[in-house]
A and B are shown apart, each in its own frame.
Chain A
Amino acid sequence: MATLPHQQEKLGLDTFLRGLWEENPVFVMLLGMCPVLAVTNSTMNAIAMGLATTFVLVASSALISLLRNLIPKQVRIASYIVIIATFVTVVDYAIQAISLDLYNALGAFIQLIVANCVILGRAEAYASKQRLHTTLVNSLGMGAGFTVALLALGTVREVLGNGTLLGFQVMPANFEPWVVMILPPGGFFVLGSWLLLFAYIRQRRERRLLEQEGLSDAR
């Protein structure tokens, strides 16, 4: 393995922010939909899942970035999966040690972080090519983006489906909860609404940019 063919990215604010907005794993790249839909029926679950995924993402990306010149190309996916699985197991035990209730609420989805394509995608597309510090910042941004997206779904679903936020009553007492919001279809409804909003904002922004360009051309 001689010099890397890839351009090393310069560390900047954009390295972090990209995961939050421009390349948001959920709202823009539509990756990792399984936990997004499954565990966002309450805000607490969404936070826990987001943090667990962020930890696995950052830790595995960091290790992969460190080992990037030692892992032969042919066995890279296997190596990534082993590394990711290790950190998932670590998180699994950690959550059991923190709270059994939380562990029961998240069910099988902690173990399923292994198969979350956000993480493998980061490993393959970024961590395996970039230096440690940019990788750390980038994966932290991606994890934050993922957590924010889960929160966006979790809060809406809990407020509408249960009338509570983080367990506290926020809706008036005579509010009849929309049970469907906690059930799987509610996940699709809320995700669809968020995607609509994101697409609308992006489109409007692009149109504005085009109009501005058009104006400057005319001048």
Chain B
Amino acid sequence: MSESPLMQAVPSTPGFRMIRTLGAIAMLSGLLVVLVFRWTEPIIAENQRIAIEKAVFQVVPGATQRVDVVLGADGMALATDAAGDGETVYAAFDEQGKLKGVALAAGAQGYQDVVKLLYGYDPACSCIRGIKILKMTETPGLGDKIAFDPGFLRNFEALSAVVNASGDGLTNPIKAVKHGHKQFAWEVDAISGATISSVAVANALNRSMQRMAPLIQRHRDALGEVAP
């Protein structure tokens, strides 16, 4: 096996050779990574957009269009304008451009890690219309039922979240109760064997709604006007 002509031309210390080899390999790998990144970036962004869109339409029944809006203490703005700070929410409309609800992201500590979810709030009935778990690491077979257990998901067909008289929170905080003990429209019937995960969902909804429901109600008319 003879050496390559390049190496014979440059008689160098082993240290230099090592650095040169590592440098060349690092540059080669950097080039490869950048190429792949540039190539997949738009595809990944598109995938993420579709995933969000699908989730939004799932948690707001009847919605077919969405507009991203930033809601904050100092008012409302289109996400594209990106003025002021606040939370990005997804206003969802039906085909006639009527506001069907608002989809919001929420999260709370679950059994193993944070449970992240998207839920749909309907300002007309002051209730939550649906949830979708976006990310969780709950125990398979037990805690992960929060994502698909039909009995549990029925809690969120019309979960009451009425804004209180002073307009700074909910009249009745959303909370999880033991399986089979649901009495009121703002209570979440926990899955037996998955209480911690069920409580996490209720906590996430409560914390997010306490802050956002008053804001959404205050800007309800303005939200209806941003229809696409």
List residues of chain A with CB under 8 Å of any chain B CB. 1-4, 41, 67, 69-72, 74-75, 78-79, 82-83, 85-86, 89-90, 93-94, 96-97, 99-100, 104, 107, 161, 177, 179, 182-183
Contacts and interface: CB of A to CB of B under 8 A. Distances in A.
Nearest to B38: A93
Interface in B1-33: 1, 3-4, 7, 14, 17-18, 21-22, 25-26, 28-29, 32-33
A79 B135 CA distance: 36
B25 A179 contact: no
Contacts of B32: 86, 90
Interface string B40-81: 100110011001000000000000000000000000000000
Contact of B26 (A4, A82, A94, A99): A82
Given A70-B4, A75-B18, A41 B29 contact: no
B33 A74 contact: no
B18 A93 contact: no
Interface residues of B, number: 29
A179 B21 CA distance: 50
Interface of B: 1, 3-4, 7, 14, 17-18, 21-22, 25-26, 28-29, 32-33, 36-37, 40, 43-44, 47-48, 51, 135, 137, 139-142
B117 to A, nearest CB: 14
Given A74-B14, A183-B140, A97 B21 contact: no
A174 B32 CA distance: 51
Given A70-B21, A75-B21, A94-B36, A1 B1 contact: yes
A187 to B, nearest CB: 12
Contacts of A70: 4, 7, 21
Contacts of B44: 93, 96-97, 100
Dominant secondary structure at the B interface: helix
5 contacts: A3-B1, A4-B1, A90-B32, A93-B40, A179-B141
Contacts of A96: 40, 44, 47
A122 B193 CA distance: 45
Given A79-B21, A82-B26, A96-B40, 10 more contacts: A1-B3, A69-B3, A79-B22, A79-B25, A82-B25, A86-B33, A97-B44, A100-B47, A161-B141, A182-B140
Contacts of B137: 107
A93 B139 contact: no
B36 A93 contact: yes
Nearest to B4: A70
Contacts of B4: 69-70
Most buried by B among A1, A79, A161: A79
Given A93-B36, A96-B44, A97-B47, A72 B141 contact: no
B1 A69 contact: yes
